[in-house]
Structure 1
């Protein structure tokens, strides 16, 4: 029903208004989700700078704290959506297919320098040869490792292959108090699909097929997932956050419950603030099946097709994703710039902690799972944890997850 309603409003023939010449400033509504207070403060400053440079435009910024996408979809149906809003790459395929977003191609000129964006990120917001969003920032996944734990184990460099990671994990798994309990595991595993998809791809598997149905239970896809299950069950050198009484991969690494974990750029400020004594480093995700792989997560600014102030909305989007605005937004390091020139100017390619994140974006797998990601993601997560805990064989678990996901997808089409 949501899809039908969105399609109905998207098919209306709306004219493109020109920039206002009135003396009263045009108000543009921008919506995003809740985030770190420091991030909110920085965004408000960037928006203030935009208003200073564009005195004819005022930005009304709204934080949607709960059920963000449900709120956005409801407002799109009710013709009350904001002019500009955040759109996660995971949710983009569905909204782009509903004809409710304004294509940005006609607004982009050579001065905007579209080739400056990382191609992988731009492609996440392309549909039917149109660009519907401009990515504001991103993060890949990289390997975080505890330098002190490595030194104690006699390890001098991070693992470069998954076989090395498994070997290192054995050396790093220790019972510090000799009481029969593991005090430090070699590796912290996060079983969610968002952290496992690149392993499925490493052996030629895929998340969804060309028709948008779940396809992760193929023999090729199972090979990558089996690596995770075997390490957890047989080697016993990895732990989940619940095994060690923590709430996230970053926390179990920060508390030294695990010596290695694969996390995103968001972990850096958290670790530095919460665990200032922790001596850690990062490296690219170890290769699997002789192939480089990681995930990339990104969010774009998109324009509501029903906006009554499209010219002004574009001015806002182009500033926030332009070189000046993006530099201000990403200068503190909590987010990575999607423009290559900004990353170079800020020195992130030489940053010993962040350079691995930038290196991974060229070969990263975008975090997308078709038009109905929730059906795929939720069923995978539930069944994969069951397999990880040994409650059922991996193949059986994944076939069940795939079948149930596709049943739901068929019901939604």
Structure 2
């Protein structure tokens, strides 16, 4: 009897151990949410995720694409404690989520072998608060000057403008009336493209308390440059003025000879306008200073994730040199690791080099948690001023006052 009980006990212990082993090796599923900019980008991300799952066979990644109202969906899920484990976060939205502590601080996960110093500091700082890193930038782009080489040749222009005064003169020379109207400059009248202009003469977008202050004389001086090109010189146009959906399309169709745009434009032109002869240069200096914008997105971890170690492994792999080389070799955006940027040759490519150079002095598209409110009010009023419906100073004062009233009421 004792032998039988002993045998049964051993069997029970073996079964329990096997059960625990099965549970330990059971696959963990984590969710990665983001948007899809293009089918190619989606295919490349899937390729990296497949490689990750081979390396970590006990982790499964459920990928979710949210292309409509992305941040509204993410915020709602964070409130409901059903947010994804890992998700994309634009630098614009990062301050608010960092403030409310819904993101997992990553400092304790980052080991020396991850080589955090390899990332462009300006990009990393967009996701840093109180010495804690809350996101690892996956890619970025700056703005560069795109110019039509054929239009330049016809106008006897042999090199791109170096200063904004030259840029204004070029715009006039390149504006032509004909079967296809050609304007010197394609204007995108949105705050993400104008912030560096506000700062060019010493203006600021927000103050220390995140209230809008862009309607100062210094801020207006930079914005007036664009308004004058559009209203007074008639050497600039919006995409809607020529029936285009974007500045990229306007330029590609020959309705503009110059524009400011990012890395995504290069593969777009190669695919959509393969016969277009174009080049790039750094944004012309204003008031003797270099300036441009930079846009970046990071992978962040939900603080409420139940699988934080697995979530970090995914972030670590996606932003590793190997992962970044796969997703970063199509040119839609630039790798955020300096080593990968160099290895893929972007800093030596004539079209991408001006975009890379701009990273050293670019203004990150970010200005505190109130920026989404400021953005909406700015865009509405700036377009009104551009169209001549009201003076720029009145429009910006109205935008600033309305934004600040909304910010005050929300506090």
TM-score (norm 1): 0.93
1:65-76 matched pairs, under 5 angstroms: 65-76=67-78
1:351-390 matched pairs, under 5 angstroms: 351-390=349-388
Give the whole-Å Cα distance in 1 for the aligned partners of 2:114 and 2:23: 23
SS of 1:363's equivalent? coil
Alignment correspondent of 2:309: 311
Alignment correspondent of 1:13: none
Q: Is the CA contact (8 Å cut-off) linking 1:101 and 1:304 kept in structure 2?
A: yes
Q: Is the CA contact (8 Å cut-off) linking 2:264 and 2:331 kept in structure 1?
A: no
Q: Rg bigger for which structure?
A: 2
Give the whole-Å Cα distance in 2 for the aligned partners of 1:349 and 1:164: 26
Q: Deviations over 1:245-294 (max 9, x none)?
A: 10101000000100001011111111111111100001111011011000
Alignment correspondent of 2:114: 112
SS of 2:207's equivalent? coil
Q: Deviations over 1:176-195 (max 9, x none)?
A: 35xxxx71111111110010
Alignment correspondent of 1:278: 276
Give the whole-Å Cα distance in 2 for the aligned partners of 1:110 and 1:314: 15
Alignment correspondent of 1:168: 170
Q: Is the CA contact (8 Å cut-off) linking 2:267 and 2:330 kept in structure 1?
A: no
Alignment correspondent of 1:330: 328
Alignment correspondent of 1:153: 155
Residues matched between the structures, number: 390
Alignment correspondent of 2:4: none
SS of 2:96's equivalent? helix
Give the whole-Å Cα distance in 1 for the aligned partners of 2:331 and 2:248: 17
Q: Give 2:182's match in structure 1, choosing from 171, 181, 184.
A: 184
TM-score (norm 2): 0.93
Give the whole-Å Cα distance in 1 for the aligned partners of 2:67 and 2:178: 42
Aligned pair in 2 of structure 1 residues 107, 150: CA closer, same or farther (>3 Å)?
same
Give the whole-Å Cα distance in 2 for the aligned partners of 1:286 and 1:172: 16
Q: Which runs of 5+ in 1 are unaligned?
A: 1-19
Q: Which runs of 5+ in 2 are unaligned?
A: 1-21
Q: Is the CA contact (8 Å cut-off) linking 1:369 and 1:376 kept in structure 2?
A: no
SS of 2:294's equivalent? strand
Q: Is the CA contact (8 Å cut-off) linking 2:215 and 2:393 kept in structure 1?
A: yes
SS of 1:49's equivalent? helix
SS of 2:232's equivalent? helix
1:140: Cα distance to partner?
A: 0.4
Alignment correspondent of 2:300: 302
Q: Give 1:126's match in structure 2, choosing from 125, 128, 131.
A: 128
Give the whole-Å Cα distance in 1 for the aligned partners of 2:314 and 2:209: 35
Aligned pair in 2 of structure 1 residues 220, 21: CA closer, same or farther (>3 Å)?
farther
**Is 1:224 matched with 2:222?**
yes
Runs of 4+ aligned structure 1 residues displaced above 4 Å come to none
1:21: Cα distance to partner?
A: 8.1
SS of 1:292's equivalent? coil
Alignment correspondent of 2:202: 204
